[in-house]
């Protein structure tokens, strides 16, 4: 039974990814100087995510539209990023944005919170 549920979840997730790719739209345009600043700031961020998770897709879509090159880290079973997420963030829940600033690390969960943070920072 659990195999069937995983299969259905993966098929639906793949369908959502496909719809996202088709309907994604364009990226935010900036001057080269401003884009370079965004690129520099984005190096301190990484998104722990699952490929077919609807909330992760929503978050990746916002990142794409904001034209922010944030590193994506797959937190699926067997991935070393999964252990990092559990150890650093305290739980395995995605999406999770890792924010490193001034030597401190913050772990932000919840797609809506992550998107609001990124929009405030990069829009």
Number of domains forming the structure of the chain? 1
CATH of the domain at 13: 3.40.30.10
Residue 115 lies in a domain: yes
Nearest residue to 99 (alpha-carbon basis) of 112, 87, 111, 89: 89
Q: Is the pLDDT of residue 60 over 80?
A: yes
Largest CA distance in the chain: 54
Does 18 fall in a domain?
A: yes
Classify residue 66: in a domain, yes or no.
yes
Q: Is residue 60 part of a domain?
A: yes
User: DSSP of 5-45, one letter per residue?
Assistant: HHHHHHHHHHHHHHHHHHH--PPPP--HHHHHHHHHHHTTE
pTM, rounded to two decimals = 0.86
> Considering the domain boundaries, does residue 83 fall inside one?
yes
**Of 8-12, 29-33, 102-106, the least confident:** 8-12
Task: Tell me, yes or no, whether 69 lies in a domain.
Answer: yes
Domain residues for the domain of 76 are 2-23+41-122
Q: Give the pLDDT band (50/70/90) at residue 123.
A: confident
């Amino acid at each position: 039974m659990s195999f069937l549920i995983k299969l259905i979840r993966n098929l639906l997730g793949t369908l959502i990814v496909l719809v996202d790719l088709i309907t994604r739209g364009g990226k935010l345009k900036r001057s080269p100087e401003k884009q370079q600043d965004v690129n520099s700031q984005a190096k301190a961020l990484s998104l722990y995510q699952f490929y077919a998770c609807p909330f992760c897709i929503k978050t990746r879509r916002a990142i794409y539209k904001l034209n922010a090159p944030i590193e994506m880290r797959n937190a699926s079973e067997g991935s070393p990023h999964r252990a990092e997420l559990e150890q650093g963030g305290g739980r395995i829940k995605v999406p999770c944005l890792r924010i490193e600033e001034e030597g401190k690390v913050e772990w932000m969960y919840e797609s809506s919170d992550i998107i609001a943070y990124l929009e405030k920072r990069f829009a």
